[in-house]
Amino acid sequence: MSGSKQKKPTPVQQQYQKFADDREPKRPILANCIRAFIGGGVICTIGQGIQFFFITNFNFDEKSAGDPTVAILILLSVILTTLGVYDKIAQWAGAGSAVPVTGFANTIASAALDHKSEGFVLGVGGNMFKIAGPVIVFGVFSAFIVAIIKILIESLGGM
């Protein structure tokens, strides 16, 4: 029915929509943006501190310290999700907690916890990959497209 025209709302529907719009709470957009900036910034600052720890104490270089740093951030996120703390952080920080890798780990861990009563394979595994699958597919596809563009740019630049 996507080709059909949308019906014009009746006067009663228009009146109800105005009634609902008047009573909908206004969102504090600026405050939400500031909290997201602070929340995401704190998460990234913690990540930078972990990376600096690996560089100074284990003689990693900046590039090789990235992998264990991400692993620690994911582990911390899963632990905080399991304890119910990450949800409180996410409620305050909003999108700031969803953007770093910790937000993705929280999403996967939450799905696993919500469906553990259905069993490990169909409950935990199945529902974790319902969420992770599209993200992984999009990531692989995006990497493929970026690699093709890079190859094309390099081959045209070499002529």
Please list the pLDDT of the chain residue by residue as tens digits (159 residues): 455 577 888 999 999 999 998 899 988 999 999 999 999 999 999 999 999 999 999 999 999 999 999 999 999 999 999 999 999 999 999 999 987 789 889 988 888 888 888 888 878 878 887 877 888 888 899 999 999 999 999 998 765
Of 103, 127, 96, which Cα lies nearest the Cα of 113?
127
The residues near 17 (Cβ < 8 Å, ≥ 6 apart) are: 9
Tell me the domain boundaries of the chain: 28-157
Number of neighbours of residue 3 by Cβ within 10 angstroms: 4
Q: Is the pTM of this model over 0.75?
A: no
